[in-house]
Structure 1
Amino acid sequence: MHTGMHPVDADLVRRLVARQFPRWAQLPVERFPSGGTVNGMYRLGAEMVVRLPLVRGAVADVTLEREWLPRLAGLLPTSVPEVLGAGEPADGYPWPWSVYRWLAGENPEPGALRAPERLAEDLAGFVAAMRGVELSGAPKAHRGGPLSALDASTRSAIEELRAIPEEGVDCDAAIAVWEDGLRADAGRDEPPVWLHADLMPGNVLVDEAGRLTAVIDFGCVGLGDPACDLFPAWNLLPAGARRTFRDALDVDDAAWARGRARTLSQALIALPYYRETNRAMTTNARHVLAAVQAEEDA
């Protein structure tokens, strides 16, 4: 998916675990398939999972989670990853890595949610709790800065998609939504809040009833624009549940425009980039584009 990816396989993970955590050396190791883009996931026995960066750019996420997850866990209404072991470079693997407690659940599938309204309420509760966190020394969120910082990459992605007519993207409509967000962002005066900053369906776990059980992957966590955590409105929830989510968080028009533009930007950039390498990312990108267009047409 990216240049500079370090090769990782189950044999390497077994060696790393055996060397650094011998008490777990006899547990089976099995690759866990996911739509993630910068980390490899390997089940370690029945109760744990090993997560290793695949690219240098993901390395800072490891230390960020080690520092902040223990402090955030007791402040949030749902389960979050628990670091059980802090692995270090060895056996030719160049970066830190972690062992986490396995969290049960499955990723929700947009368009096939079992309880969309209840999930919308659950997600709003999580976002509200994040916004209410008051921990000192917070980092800046990986996302959540000014929308203008994404302007060049967003417009470049739109032009790439113009050259792929089979994707059927209404590029002029995308530009209009993006520019609405830019205008809303120019007048933003809300203070930054704590964000998860990567609320993709792949980072959400639900139970058999479709209720939220956990939120994972806190590698983007930090302070930023509150609108950044509105992503599920378009990347996961159908129209009715989208309204429930918005009402529960009391989102005004300007913040909604910023959140829609941020979610659209992420989808526009992901679609041409991952088109040949990551089906989960491109499937969700297409879902976002359709959801944004439908909302505009309503």
Structure 2
Amino acid sequence: MHADQLTVTPETVRALVDEQFPGWRELPVRRVASQGTVNAIFRIGDELTARFPLQPGDVESIRRGLESEAEAARELAGRTRYPTPEPVALGEPGAGYPLPWSVQTWLPGVVASDEDPGDSVAFAHDLADLISDLRAVSTRGRTFAGDGRGGDLRAHDAWVETCLRNSEHLLDIRPLRRLWDTMRDLPRHPAGDVMTHGDLIPGNVLVSAGRLSGILDVGGFGPADPALDLVSAWHLLETVPRRALRERLGSGDLEWERGKAWAFQQSMGAVWYYVDTNPAMSRMGRRTLDRILAAS
């Protein structure tokens, strides 16, 4: 998926586990098929998951990032009515793998990209309840920090322009450009930042029997625009359930439109960047853009 992507094999994981966590030597190691773009995922036995960053970087910076993700996961644990992975251990470079890596608890379920709940109002209500639970956690005075999604929409102008240029052979760019010209001027929400998951895409949402059963990739849990988690309305839901989610949350026009804008920004990148290397992510982006265009 990335030009500089690292290769992580089951043999490498087996060697790292045996060397650094000898208590797990008897547990089988299995690769997990995933549409994720940041980590290679392996199961260790039935209850643990190992995550290996896919792109090279400074060892200490990667370690700090993994420690920050673990801290966020610990803060979120038990705070929503749906289970989330909990940090277990931090591994070190070795066996030919050059970076720190993490271990967390395994959650059962099927990701929403494999079991599509998009037509279900009951699932939309579950999703709204999750977002409410996330927002109910205190920010403890923290505000959004960084340059990712969740702050100022206009800060993403250059990225969206890059996406528009790289998508000319894939999408009808004219209506998309007009949409962004409107979205980028949406004002910040006057209520201030709330706690958010930050990446509620189908691959991070677990489904069982058509209902929400768990949330993955919680290391980005933190303060951000209250509209940020509304990307899920566009990534995951069709028209009627999407309306049900909005009604349950009581989202006003500004919050709703900013949620649409964050989903737009994310989807514009997914379509072209992953068109050959992660087709499922590219298709997700296309579907979300189609939903946004139909509703605009």
Decide: shared fold, TM above 0.5. yes
Could you tell which deviates more after superposition, 65-74 or 286-295? 65-74
Alpha-carbon shift at residue 89 of structure 1 (Å): 2.1
State the number of aligned residues: 290
- For structure 2, which runs of at least 5 residues remain unmatched after alignment? none
Q: Output one character per residue of 1:48-98: Cα deviation in whole Å (capped at 9) or x when no partner.
A: 211111114693542122112122112111100012222122223222212
Give the root-mean-square deviation of aligned CA atoms. Answer: 2.0
Aligned to 2:102: 98
- Which of 146, 150, 154 aligns to 2:160? It is 154
Distance in 2, Cα, partners of 1:195 & 1:242:
19
Structure 1 residue ranges (4+ consecutive) displaced by more than 4 angstroms after TM superposition: none
CA contact (8 A) 1:121 1:248 kept: yes
SS in 2 for 1:4: coil
TM-score (structure 2 length as normaliser):
0.91
Aligned to 2:53: 53
Name the aligned partner's letter for residue 204 of structure 2: N
SS in 2 for 1:89: coil
Could you tell which deviates more after superposition, 284-293 or 91-100? 91-100
Alignment of 1:123-142 (within 5 A): 123-136=127-140, 138=142, 140=145, 142=148
Aligned to 2:207: 206
Distance in 2, Cα, partners of 1:199 & 1:85:
24
Distance in 1, Cα, partners of 2:118 & 2:165:
37
Aligned to 2:181: 179
Q: Output one character per residue of 1:99-154: Cα deviation in whole Å (capped at 9) or x when no partner.
A: 22210000124894286211111111111111111153757374201001111111
CA contact (8 A) 2:231 2:263 kept: yes
Distance in 1, Cα, partners of 2:65 & 2:122:
30
SS in 2 for 1:124: helix
Q: Output one character per residue of 1:247-292: Cα deviation in whole Å (capped at 9) or x when no partner.
A: 1111111111111111111111111111110012101011111111
Aligned to 1:73: 77
- For structure 1, which runs of at least 5 residues remain unmatched after alignment? none
Percent same amino acid among aligned pairs? 38
Q: Output one character per residue of 1:190-247: Cα deviation in whole Å (capped at 9) or x when no partner.
A: 311111110000000011x211111110232211111111011111101000001111
CA contact (8 A) 2:118 2:238 kept: no
